[in-house]
Amino acid sequence: MAGLPAEMRVVENDNLLHFETTADLILHYFSLLGIDTVFGVPGGAIEPMYNALARAERDGTMRSVVARHEAGAAFMADGYARERGIPGVCISTTGPGATNLVTGVSSAYADNIPMLVITAQTALPNFGKRALQDSSCTAVNTVGMFKHCTVYNTLVSHPEQLEQKLIAAINAAQGQRPGPAHVSIPLDILNSPLPGRPLPISAYALKRAYNQYDAGAVDELSTHLGQAQKIALFLGRGCQEAIESILNFANKVNADIVTTPSGKGLLASHHPKYRGVFGFAGHESATQALMEGNDIILAVGTDMDELGTSNWNTEVLLNSKLIHIDQIEEHFNRSPMARMHVCGRIKSIFEHLNRDVDKALQWGRSWDSGKQAYHPSFPDMLGYDRQATPVDPKALFAKLPLFVSDDTRYYVDAGNAWAWATHYLQLPKANRYRIGMGFGAMAWAIGAAVGAAMADPEKPAICITGDGSFLMSGQEMTVALQHQLPVVFIILNDSALGMVKHGQRMGGAEQIGFELPTIDFALMAQSMGIQSQQIHSMKDFDNLNLNELTQNGPVLLDVRIDGEQKPPMGSRVKTLTGE
């Protein structure tokens, strides 16, 4: 059946579907979800999936993107999911291919990113015989490893199990607690032919949104809100789907809006209700907005982690003024002091609240605006020296949006880039900022920016990473070259693991292990055929038209930054030192 023009190599006869192999059935389900890209690295045991992908590419229904390392493939699937709002897909062969995926899958698990993870196993008859790369239950047990970083995890031991387990994985990945779902499939099952079978589940059933919430709790919440004079909103990344309803609510009740570091991109930096970031590298204006005069603080879509709560600050946030709203019940474990917990789909909850507020407004109820003139504490960089060398990171992040289009998406890597971007980067539009703070994996942004560009190549993506992260996984930029993707890789080059260096200094630790050699990353990129330039001062941006350059594929900027500038990361150091 190879090469048949029918969609996904499917033939309908007498109300039955015929697939060449189970691998083709898997791709059919991906297509029902709207997924058109699979990220991975080929290998012997996963070869049936690549055979199916080759047939799908000829049909124009799917494309394969080969990463340079399986962790990069998982990071790419993460970026794809964030841009498309559907699960990303990564696949790997058995043994080391699967173990290489674990860091990227763990990152998606920590950030609740929907992902479908398909790994191979050696053929079933070879389990436990020390076959090459055996990772079955009697060898290096990869299914056991994925148990702790997935929302669903299974081994398929018979072809007739595959479809039901795949549907379960899809539903789990998009469920109440979104995340990666892992299905491990032996080589012989992936390659099994499929007989005629009933038509599969509908695309609608696979895509249906989780919509439940506790209506009684929301009614009780409305009563609390009706008794409050001043309300503040504290928003995490989990608010993305509901942000329009939340902004509508904030306008009606005159609520200030503060975000976690990972929620920073939910609205534009100069939105009139926005008071900045609270937590790691945050703004004094955000702290003031949460502290002064509020009867209620609504924490929405946040897991109350260390970086988002300024080391679990009880004076400002974690106290009896707090009401915590989330669709993931587990997140309430970190807010036991809250006045209320309201669980359910956030969008549905705020649609309900908006109806209640409308009724209250009709009866003459009003809420205090507070009238404070708080604004995010962005620095005044008007007088900075454009010719100063090396580049001041504060100036780089404050001025970077001037050199790219407003539609540019920012992917920010772990390390000092987190601190500089959180505090200084000003976003002209909402939903353009991505950060992987849940697990804090270095090099996440490199793969994620590539995945984002595959998901939507019409908008440029900027990967902001450090020299340490780039030396881990910089080879993934060749994927952007191969597919001519509009990605700008900005390397913060100070010949150091900057967060380690400054963390040791600020915490009074021994100064060890942070030094890196001086690398010419521009020359490295040129050797790979990628456009590049060294940046020694902000004046070097004058003659760069990044939007034009990325029309010809990726661009790398080797930015020599002043490594002695101290990033705003004091709250993180206090956690490490136990202060």
50 backbone dihedrals φ, ψ, rounded to 5°: -75, -30
Share of the chain above pLDDT 70, in %: 92
Domain-by-domain residue ranges, the chain?
Answer: 7-207, 215-362, 393-577
Distance, CA of 129 to chain centre: 39
Q: Which residues contact 549 (CB under 8 A, 6 or more apart)?
A: 531, 555
Lowest mean pLDDT among 17-21, 122-126, 192-196, 299-303: 192-196
Q: Which of 140, 167, 159, 307 is nearest to 237 (CA)?
A: 307
pLDDT attached to residue 2? 37
Instruction: Categorize the per-residue pLDDT at 7 as very low, low, confident or very high, splitting at 50, 70 and 90.
Output: very low
Token duo for residue 100: 């290489």
| Best CA proximity match to 115, nearest among 58, 186, 39 | 39
Beta-strand ranges (E) seen in 16-96 are 16-18, 37-40, 63-66, 88-92
- The distance from CA 331 to its chain's CA centroid, rounded to whole angstroms, is 18
Q: Are 112 and 87 in contact (CB under 8 A)?
A: no
Model confidence at 11: pLDDT above 70: no
What local confidence, expressed as pLDDT, does residue 217 receive?
96
Mean pLDDT score, 428-446: 96
Centre a 10 Å sphere on the Cβ of residue 220 and count the other Cβ atoms it contains. 14
Cα dist from 254 to 111, 272, 288, whole Å: 30, 11, 16
Domains 215-362 and 393-577 share a fold: yes
Strands 88-92 and 274-277: unpaired
Alpha carbon distances (Å) from 73 to 38, 39, 98, 127, 171? 9, 5, 11, 26, 22
pLDDT digits (tens, 9 = 90+) for 82-139: 999 999 999 999 999 999 999 999 999 999 999 999 999 998 788 877 777 788 788 8
User: What are the C-alpha distances in Å from 538 to residues 284, 385, 543, 559?
Assistant: 27, 8, 11, 9
Q: How far is CA 194 from CA 162, 474, 504, in A?
A: 11, 41, 59
pLDDT at residue 541 greater than cutoff 70 = yes
Q: Report how far apart, in Å, the C-alpha atoms of 184 and of each of 48, 69, 93, 357, 528 are.
A: 13, 19, 10, 49, 35
Query: Whole-angstrom Cα distance, residue 468 to residue 450?
Result: 19
Per CATH, the homologous superfamily of domain 393-577 is Thiamin diphosphate (ThDP)-binding fold, Pyr/PP domains (3.40.50.970)
Please state, for a pLDDT cut of 90, what percent of the chain lies above it.
78
Check whether 209 has a pLDDT greater than 50.
yes
Give yes or no for residue 5 having a pLDDT over 60: no
Across the chain, mean pLDDT equals: 91
Provide mean pLDDT across the span 241-263.
96
- Residue recorded with tokens 């993707």: 485
- AA identity, residue 380: D
* Statement: residue 377 has pLDDT above 70: no
Cβ atoms of 24 and 9 within 8 Å: the answer is yes
Q: Is 319 exposed, middle or buried (0-12, 13-18, 19+ CB in 10 A)?
A: middle
At the top level of CATH, which class does the domain 215-362 belong to?
A: alpha beta
- What is the model's pLDDT at position 194? 76
Return d(Cα 256, Cα 371) in angstroms, integer.
10
pLDDT at 371: 59
Q: Which fold has domain 7-207?
A: Rossmann fold (3.40.50)
Mapped onto helix, strand or coil, the DSSP state of residue 277 is: strand
The residue whose two tokens read 């939507």 is 456
Residue 137 confidence (pLDDT): 82
C-alpha 555/C-alpha 355 separation (Å) is: 48
Q: For residue range 309-330, list pLDDT tens digits in order.
A: 999 999 999 999 999 999 999 9
Give the pLDDT score at 570. 64
Structure confidence at residue 378 (pLDDT): 64
Query: Are residues 366 and 227 in contact, defined by beta-carbon separation less than 8 angstroms?
Result: no
pLDDT (average), residues 263-286: 94
